Amino acid sequence: MKNVGIIYNARVPEALDLGTAILNDLNLSQESWLAPAENLGSLTPKAENTDLVITVGGDGTILRAVNFTGPAGIPVVGINMGRLGFMTELQVDEAMARLPYYINGGNGGPRTDERSMLQATVFKANGKGSEGPYHALNDVVLTRGAVSRVVTVAGVIDGAPLTTFRADGVIMSTATGSTSYNLAVGGPILDPESDALVLKTVAAHMGLSAALVLRSTSEVNLTLEGYQPAILSVDGYVDYPLDLGDRVQLKQSPHKARFLRSHPPSYFFGTLTRRLGFSIRGQ
């Protein structure tokens, strides 16, 4: 019997209700547990004895959960209570009936969908140490703070100076994150199982505005210049203030996010337009 962890969105009362039902009604092991996504720091000791994590919420809940599951190599099954649910596997109304398949591995078992992650490390100006590393499944964004002014960022790829961006922000995203903020500002959609990276500006005022698709081994350094402080946002829920001269090193994380899937990889493209809210002629 597998030890199952259930991570839920504490801001959605129904998520706690469903999580509790899963824990009590699916005959899980006594070592299984239930915890809110907003407080995962204390769960690290549980990783060694956890075989599967079920998330109850949406993509945001998964983004938090993978910082626990990724380093430990624990697979995830996501239940969607959000809007898009690009990374989730199940809908609420089917969760209780279908979860035993993922828990017990019926009919040959589900396949494992492995996703690349990003690693961001902040090197403080004037050699004042570093912060991080931070790990992201979707993206890392260097963006302006509360003041509505552009940021000036010097970009370097694999040691070669690229350009100085003057923009509202600069996004580095994974293939998984290509359908998130990157897509909203005109970036490309990548196959979610690709290990490529995307570098894209937000409302560029000067410098390169086109997206760059980079190989998995690329290292990008972004140094904050000019007069405007900024914020480093990691997957939209960790915000780190940046000072002038701070350098952000971005590269592929050593961790992977692993998901259990019942559908083939092509299912992503078959549901892409529906998830984005586009209709298909004749349907």
Catalytic residues, by residue number, are: 59
> DSSP letters along the chain, please?
---EEEEE-TT-HHHHHHHHHHHHHS---TT-EEEETT--GGGGGGGGG--EEEEEE-HHHHHHHHHHHHHHT-EEEEEE-SS--SS--EEHHHHHHHHHHHHHTGGG-PEEEEEEEEEEEEE-GGG--EEEEEEESSEEEEEE-SS---EEEEEEETTEEEEEEEESEEEEEETGGGGTHHHHTTPPP--TT---EEEEEES-SBS--S-EEE-TT--EEEEEESS--EEEEETTTEEEEE-TT-EEEEEEEEEEEEEEESS-TTHHHHSHHHHTT---TT-
